[in-house]
Structure 1
Amino acid sequence: MKSLCVLFVAIGLASAFKIGLHPLSDEYIAEINSKQSTWRAGRNFEVDEYPYVKVLASGIKKPNGLLKQVKKIVHDENEDIPESFDAREAWPKCADVIGMIRDQSRCGSCWAFAAAESMSDRICIHSNGEKKTIVSAQDLLTCSSAGGCRGGNPSDAWEYWHEQGIVSGGLYNRTDQGCKSYFLPTCDDHPTQCTEYVGTPECVEQCDDASLTYKDQKTYGLENYEVSGEQQMQLEILKNGPVEATMDVFNDFLNYKSGVYQVTNSHYLGTHAVKMLGWGVENGVKYWLMANSWNERWGEAGYFKILRGHNEAGIELWVDAGLPDLGKF
């Protein structure tokens, strides 16, 4: 069973101010860089964006009522696992789909983004590059009961794909990417555009382009499942493509710029969903290769590496996934 929580309080901020440093200040960034050598911190957000950024970092919420039991997958561990792996290189026909960095903007929709991104990747991979269908984070965000702009549950997102289907659709104002594009523009011009949080839009079962039929744009997945632990997660990605992972977010992560991230403080902000697409070793340090949904100006052009093999920030507790049901669309 899972136990996920979201913390929308100022505990992290208060703790940081005890030593006189704001979590997004240049002084705090310098302190991070003085504490470790595997990664470098730098400015991604302005100081007055902290309340908004806490929402971004807290997109996983505890579901109401009893937690559902999710099918667990266990792979044969006798199979060889390469030292490094990048899904973009492993499936070059799908590199443009797998390599797309999205921007959740002013909505706590990471749970929907990481799911829709992984679903899109897997449709392309398992169709041998013939179907480059972008799954709509907007449709999942607004029409499923898995969550909204105040966070959601990844396993419910994958279950919804299996049971109800999710239409195609991509980035803001991009009708060429499918049925339903995302409702918010990117946050490339921080802090002027993304200082305020927004609510979840209503579900609209209609495509942006009137020539497309909503029902016909549905994509579907087979039964969703979970995989746990370093080796099992590697085998899952190696066989089936990127997965949706969850991680705890601490103040220092907001300032990640490059290298292999390790937690340097205990100022917890919330739990966040990201896409896991590979792994490797950098300067002798094992890492997972991850794609975030905070646009390309954050981190390493939207990507980051996190310490592998130590369950850093809870990254190896489980990942959510499912295979596309290509016969249905």
Structure 2
Amino acid sequence: MMLLILLATFLTFTTNSLQLSTNYEDVNELINYINNLNTTWKAGKNSYTSEDIKVRLGALEEPDLVFLKHEIDENIEIPESFDAREEWPHCESIKEIRDQGSCGSCWALAVVEAISDRICIATKGQQQVEISAENLIACCDTCGMGCMGGWSFASWDFYVNTGYVTGGLYNSKKGCQPYSIAGCGSGPLPPCKKVLEPTPQCQHKCIDGYNMTYAEDKHYGKKSYGFSNDNKALQIDIMQNGPVVTSFTVYDDFAIYKSGVYQRTSGQVVGGHAVKVIGWGVENGVDYWIVANSWNTYWGDKGFFKIRRGTNECNFEID
């Protein structure tokens, strides 16, 4: 049984989804429109429409929260750029992009990804684990409604109070409870379904052939805490402890992001999305966050994206 010394989450609040239908011709028109603007980012075909991503946007609006205060050293100098992949190259989980499939489990994947990273960082690479998103969405009733959406902050509290087992990607057969929902939507993968996959059933056992029991495989956190509208504190925490989680409002143009620093250019609200923040930087004079998405490596910049920093783009930085 492993006790993680520290964990953190960065929470914002999102708007629930609106009905929106986008056909293929509209996507092409939107791509051309955005690229002709010569803005801070480039659009391209990701095999996604706003309908495809809508089933993946499961970050529900968080209730009013009082965060546990986390002491930081305000005298720490913040570098112009920081990338957790470069700071801790021995932690493979930081580089990994998961695929939530046709399930609104972004809130769960972002949390278990960050937990996996922080376990590796805290143990100086001695423990390289993939915490199970399957276990979270199936077994934490207080965290949300599985594939129908959930709350990141409650997921961190569940990590402290109940713990999670390990589990790798779909079909990986890694860990106690690997993800059971197939990827979709981009590259050679099949199209995403227009309806949500059913939430997996909670099981207090590991897959056949795993070398530990469910209880033996559990990982726990010591405490959870959060930041809201405090970018400096958040940056210091990332530098010291590793990636964090945030939620933001997604507009339909985000589905066709390819490169550069995303900022909303057009479109309507599609829903709320939770992601993992791994660093920051500056590109052509524009400050940005580096973010890992959960829509597989065929989407965006090999599964990652940059979003404008310091302007509360799409409610990324404020409650």
TM-score over 0.5 for the alignment?
yes
Q: What residue number does 1:103 align with?
A: 99
Q: Which runs of 5+ in 1 are unaligned?
A: 319-329
1:67–1:227 Cα change, 3 Å: closer
1:150–1:74 Cα change, 3 Å: same
Deviation for aligned residue 1:266: 5.0
Give the 5 Å matches for 1:188-227: 188-189=186-187, 192-196=190-194, 197-211=196-210, 212-227=212-227
User: d(CA) in 2 for partners of 1:24 and 1:97?
Assistant: 36
Which range is displaced more, 278-287 or 203-212? 203-212
Letter in 1 for 2:124: N
User: d(CA) in 1 for partners of 2:216 and 2:164?
Assistant: 10
Q: What residue number does 1:153 align with?
A: 151
Which range is displaced more, 1-10 or 243-252? 1-10
Describe the superposition over 1:119-177 as per-residue Cα deviations: whole angstroms up to 9, x where unpaired.
Answer: 000000000110111100110011002121011100001000000000011101222x3
Deviation for aligned residue 1:61: 1.2
User: d(CA) in 2 for partners of 1:72 and 1:61?
Assistant: 23
Deviation for aligned residue 1:4: 4.0
The answer to whether the 8 A contact 2:253-2:267 is kept is no
1:201–1:251 Cα change, 3 Å: same
Of the three residues 41, 47, 68, the one matched with 1:45 is: 47
Describe the superposition over 1:48-80 as per-residue Cα deviations: whole angstroms up to 9, x where unpaired.
Answer: x54332122x211136xx645332435232211
Report SS of the residue matched to 1:254: helix
Report SS of the residue matched to 2:55: helix
User: d(CA) in 1 for partners of 2:60 and 2:218?
Assistant: 26
User: d(CA) in 2 for partners of 1:195 and 1:84?
Assistant: 38
Of the three residues 34, 37, 40, the one matched with 2:36 is: 34
Q: What residue number does 1:324 align with?
A: none
Give the 5 Å matches for 1:1-329: 3-10=13-20, 13=21, 25-46=27-48, 50-56=50-56, 58-62=57-61, 67-73=64-70, 75-94=72-91, 96-145=92-141, 146-147=143-144, 148-175=146-173, 177-187=174-184, 188-189=186-187, 192-196=190-194, 197-211=196-210, 212-228=212-228, 229-265=230-266, 267-317=268-318
User: d(CA) in 1 for partners of 2:266 and 2:68?
Assistant: 34
The answer to whether the 8 A contact 2:108-2:150 is kept is yes
The answer to whether the 8 A contact 2:101-2:183 is kept is yes
After TM superposition, the score normalised by the length of structure 2 is 0.89
In the alignment of these two chains, the number of paired residues is 303
After TM superposition, the score normalised by the length of structure 1 is 0.86
The answer to whether the 8 A contact 2:50-2:252 is kept is no
Deviation for aligned residue 1:190: 6.2
Deviation for aligned residue 1:261: 0.5
The answer to whether the 8 A contact 2:132-2:179 is kept is yes
Q: What residue number does 1:323 align with?
A: none
Letter in 2 for 1:271: G
User: d(CA) in 1 for partners of 2:61 and 2:281?
Assistant: 32
Q: Which has the higher contact order (CA 8 A, sep 6+)?
A: 2
Describe the superposition over 1:276-310 as per-residue Cα deviations: whole angstroms up to 9, x where unpaired.
Answer: 00011112211100000000000000000011111
User: d(CA) in 1 for partners of 2:188 and 2:138?
Assistant: 25
User: d(CA) in 1 for partners of 2:251 and 2:317?
Assistant: 16
User: d(CA) in 2 for partners of 1:86 and 1:308?
Assistant: 15
Q: Which runs of 5+ in 2 are unaligned?
A: 1-10
